Amino acid sequence: MTMSIRPIDPASRPFFAAEVSGIDITRPLSGEQAGAIERGMDQYGVLVFHDQRFDDDTQLAFSGHFGELEEASGDLNWGKKRRIGSALVNDISNLDNDNQVLARDNRRRLFSLGNRLWHSDSSFKAVPAKFSLLSARLIPSAGGNTEFADMRAGYDTLDDETKAEIEDLVCEHSQLYSRSLLGFSDFTDEDRERFKPVLQRLVRRHPSTGQRSLYLASHAGAIVGWPVPEARALLRDLIEHATQRRFVYAHGWRQWDLVMWDNRSTMHRARPFDAGQVRDMHRTTVACERSTMAEAA
Ligand code: OGA
Ligand code: MN
């Protein structure tokens, strides 16, 4: 078997979202194979692998090739008894600790609906996420796609005036803000402390390719030095621009897909599905090496 990486839609998105075939990533990888996958990530931003029967141990082993793994501390389960044993695996499911589907009004479920807003993983942490790796263990019979937007294209297609205006802007990101957009405000004092805003550059340069991208997320609720309404109006305009359909790849899941994305150059969002059906996805997350504030402009 030789590994190949081919764009999913070569006619309209030759440089964004590719499918990798000819490799079983649940088995130990050579340094050369891991290097080829990392270069594929640099080029395409999103990589799709089909038929990868991961458990948490093999998913952790594969993910560890790409850097330090982040703790799964971005949800309301943090510090509580969790369904998933490893503290490095994010529970992206609608299941409780007994594997029962969460009730429609369950607080954890309502918090997790924040994933339906465009975001970049862990932009609310001082050191945010580099890669996310999402493994589809059980999927509903319909719906539940994940959409990805190419934020390099979003940046490149801005006019020069806007590029100059936003070049050095710094945003405040917090899950308190993204959840409030959906009307969720049921936070404890501890949640509020843990989700205090962090600073992130609005324009990033990819450390490997040097390409610039818009670093946006629904977690961004302010721009340092700007009046809040003006900041939010600009951020909404930029998200609208960057998520035009021509920049978006919509992934329709098959069981045992593994999709891996670069949070430095993409945003993503979940799409709805029947709340009575099971959707069980496990996510590992590779951390960036430093805060965007410490990255070269
Ligand atoms: C995530 C996420 C979207 C989805 O795992 O980070 O946003 O479709 N998931 O579950
Ligand atoms: Mn996410």
| Residues 241-265 pLDDT 10s | 999 999 999 999 999 999 999 999 9
Question: Over 90: is that where the pLDDT of 292 sits?
Answer: yes
What pLDDT does 77 receive?
83
Q: Domain residue spans in the chain? A: 4-296
- What contacts 238, CB < 8 A, 6 or more positions away? 154, 166, 202, 214, 216
Exposed/middle/buried for residue 6 (C-beta within 10 Å: 0-12, 13-18, 19+): exposed
Q: pTM of this prediction?
A: 0.97
70-83 tens-digit pLDDT: 999 888 888 889 99
Taking the C-alpha atoms of residue 101 and residue 280, their distance in angstroms, rounded to an integer, is 10
CB distance 32 to 1 below 8 Å: no
Taking the C-alpha atoms of residue 37 and residue 54, their distance in angstroms, rounded to an integer, is 17
Q: What's the chain's average pLDDT?
A: 97
Could you tell me the sign of the dihedral formed by the alpha carbons of 138, 38, 126, 60, in that order? positive
Closest ligand, as measured to the CA of 120: 2
Say which residue, 73 or 53, is predicted with more confidence: 53
CATH placement of domain 4-296: 3.60.130.10
- What contacts 87, CB < 8 A, 6 or more positions away? 71, 72
- Mean pLDDT, residues 63-67: 98
| Mutational test site, ligand 1, from 268, 271, 277, 286, max ligand atoms within 8 Å of CB | 268
Distance 244 CA to ligand 1 centre (A): 19
- The tally of CA atoms less than 13 A away on the side-chain side of residue 245 is 0
User: pLDDT grade, residue 297 (50/70/90)?
Assistant: low
Nearest CA to ligand 1 atom 6: 121
